[in-house]
Amino acid sequence: MARTHAEWKALSGQITIEGRAFVDGQYVTAADGRTFDCINPATGDKLATISWAGTAEVEQAVAAARRVFESGKWSGLAPLARGRILKRFAALIRQHGDELALLETLDAGKPIGDTTTVDVPGAAYCVEWFAEAIDKIGGEVAPVDPKLVGLVSREAIGVVAAVVPWNFPILMASWKFGPALAAGNAVILKPSEKSPLTAIKLAALAKEAGMPDGVFQVLPGAGDVGQALAQHMDIDCIAFTGSTGVGKLIASYAAQSNLKRAWLELGGKSPNIVLADCPDIARAARTAAGAIFYNMGEMCTAGSRLLLHKDIKDAFLVEFKKAAAAYQPADPLDPATSMGAIVDRIQYDKVLGYIAKARE
């Protein structure tokens, strides 16, 4: 049964929040003692003190990942065995769904109605999908000269670092660690300093599911942690979702170090285009409103421009304003809320700056 606004508020006051890094199977504080505050963007209240991973934690995590990968404890498991563990991991994500959804809402300001129905279930589904695919996606024999044998095999690359953004913390993370773990890699996850809580919780669930120590590790912190991972000579691949500017840096760090493989998903907003023959203007307007206002507009696919044919412009804008009015900022813990809080003051001021620029 779905929880009420009052029930979510009560639960938010009872939840235990873990703020330490997860390295080689256990939670640890930063050796240099650095921390940062995790703030609830809806209230401004401090949620937790988070360990800011430093050079020592990066080195320990990479060494643990390399050790477990080379040991074959994960990469050498039979596909079905690895799949069973990942299915248990997905089941645990569902079992702790309310806790994870609440952490995501408190941490990132996302409406609880979204985190309970989109973000957390989507993450569990992603892990489960790749768990199911492990023993169903194989290699091939290439058609070559009869005197030759050409084989294509799919093998784990080794140690994978994943640097993920703050707008869909658990979901974006799952898109990276799900397939990487399924392939047999060891993963080091670096969540955004704006939204680290679900990643930290997931580490314990991965261990509970049966993953060997060192297979799934979490290093909270700011850009210096991501830079250290991108430059590390013993990391084989880095996956990043975020801004184009930081993506360029990640690519350069990868090139300057061991030429590690780099997967970059960078920002790229696009216009919504509505032509004169649009058969359902009201529906198109609702879709356009959702494209820019869903998730507080914090979307790399946000429809931040709207190009309308002049013949339908006036009628479309009437419907668009109606649809936009449904997105009213309110308490993210209220299941009826469609728009929560902007993730932090920096982003909030940036949004206001864009609005002011548009008015000018």
pLDDT tens, 328-359?
Answer: 999 999 999 999 999 999 999 999 999 999 99
Out of 1.20.1440.230, 3.40.30.10, 3.20.20.330, 3.40.605.10, which CATH number does the structure's domain 12-138+150-266 have? 3.40.605.10
Q: What are the residue ranges spanned by the domains of the chain? A: 12-138+150-266, 271-359
Q: Are 54 and 32 in contact (CB under 8 A)?
A: yes
Note the pLDDT of residue 101: 98
Q: What is the CA radius of gyration of the chain?
A: 22
Residue 173: pLDDT above 90?
A: yes
Query: Residues with catalytic annotation?
Result: 265, 300
Look at the block and give the residue holding tokens 């640097």. Answer: 163
Residue 234 and residue 303: Cα distance in Å, rounded? 39
Residue 118 DSSP class: I
36-75 residue pLDDT tens: 999 999 999 999 999 999 999 999 999 999 999 999 999 9
Cα 171 to chain centroid, rounded: 5
Look at the block and give the residue holding tokens 């307007």. Answer: 285
Look at the block and give the residue holding tokens 């493989």. Answer: 261
Superfamily of domain 271-359: Aldehyde Dehydrogenase; Chain A, domain 2 (3.40.309.10)
Note the pLDDT of residue 221: 98
Note the pLDDT of residue 313: 97
Residue 263: pLDDT above 90?
A: yes
- Residues contacting residue 30 through CB under 8 Å, at least 6 positions apart: 21, 51, 52, 53, 54, 56, 57
Residue 181 and residue 341: Cα distance in Å, rounded? 32
* Encoded tokens for 114: 């979204």
* Encoded tokens for 174: 């799952």
Residue 172 and residue 191: Cα distance in Å, rounded? 10
HSE of 67 in the Cβ direction (CA atoms, 13 Å)? 12
Torsion of CA 292, 293, 295, 301, to 10 degrees: 0
218-259 residue pLDDT tens: 999 999 999 999 999 999 999 999 999 999 999 999 999 999
- Which of the four pLDDT bands, split at 50, 70 and 90, describes residue 283? very high
Residue 183 and residue 82: Cα distance in Å, rounded? 9
Q: Are 215 and 24 in contact (CB under 8 A)?
A: no
* Encoded tokens for 270: 């696009």
β-sheet bridge partners, residue 141: 151
Residue 277 and residue 70: Cα distance in Å, rounded? 60
Closest CA to 151 of 142, 163, 160: 142
Closest CA to 240 of 320, 160, 138, 317: 160
Residue 269: pLDDT above 80?
A: no
